[in-house]
Amino acid sequence: MGLREQKDAASREFQVPTKKQKKLKPPGPHMQWHVSDSPADPPCPQQQVDQRVNRAMRTRSRRLWFFSPGIQVTSSPHLPPLSSDRARMAMSRAAAAAAAAGTPVARRRLMGAVAARSMASWFGHVEPAAKDPILGVTEAFLADPSPDKVNVGVGAYRDDSGKPVVLECVREAERRIAGSMNMEYLPMGGSIKMIEESLKLAYGENCEFIKDKRIAAVQALSGTGACRLFADFQKRFLPDSQIYIPTPTWANHHNIWRDAQVPQKTFTYYHPESRGLDFAGLMNDIKNAPDGSFFLLHACAHNPTGVDPSEEQWREISHQFKVKKHFPFFDMAYQGFASGDPERDAKAIRIFLEDGHQIGCAQSYAKNMGLYGQRAGCLSILCDDEMQAVAVKSQLQQIARPMYSNPPVHGALIVSTILGDPELKSLWLKEVKGMADRIIGMRTALKENLEKLGSPMSWEHITNQIGMFCYSGMTPEQVDRLTKEFHIYMTRNGRISMAGVTTGNVAYLANAIHEVTKTK
The residues assigned a catalytic role are 250, 331, 367
**Dihedral sign, Cα of residue 98, residue 99, residue 100, residue 103:** positive
The length of the chain in residues reads 520
Question: From CA 138, how far away is CA 490, in angstroms rounded?
Answer: 9
What is the residue type of 371?
A: L
The answer to whether the beta carbons of residues 349 and 358 sit under 8 Å apart is no
Classified as helix, coil or strand, 382 is strand
User: At how many degrees (to 10) do helices 410-420 and 192-203 cross?
Assistant: 50
HSE (CB half, 13 Å, CA atoms) of 147?
A: 0
Smallest Cα–Cα separation from 487: which of 257, 147, 72?
A: 147
Q: Is the peptide bond before 248 cis (omega within 30 degrees of 0)?
A: yes
Smallest Cα–Cα separation from 373: which of 219, 164, 200?
A: 164
Question: From CA 492, how far away is CA 494, in angstroms rounded?
Answer: 5
The answer to whether the beta carbons of residues 199 and 380 sit under 8 Å apart is yes
Question: From CA 414, how far away is CA 170, in angstroms rounded?
Answer: 7
Query: What single DSSP character describes residue 134?
Result: T
Smallest Cα–Cα separation from 501: which of 455, 430, 431, 450?
A: 450
φ/ψ of 10, rounded to 5, equals -65, -40
Question: From CA 60, how far away is CA 221, in angstroms rounded?
Answer: 58
Question: From CA 253, how far away is CA 227, in angstroms rounded?
Answer: 8
Residues with Cβ within 8 Å of 419's Cβ and at least 6 positions away in sequence, in order, are 194, 197, 198, 200, 201, 425, 428
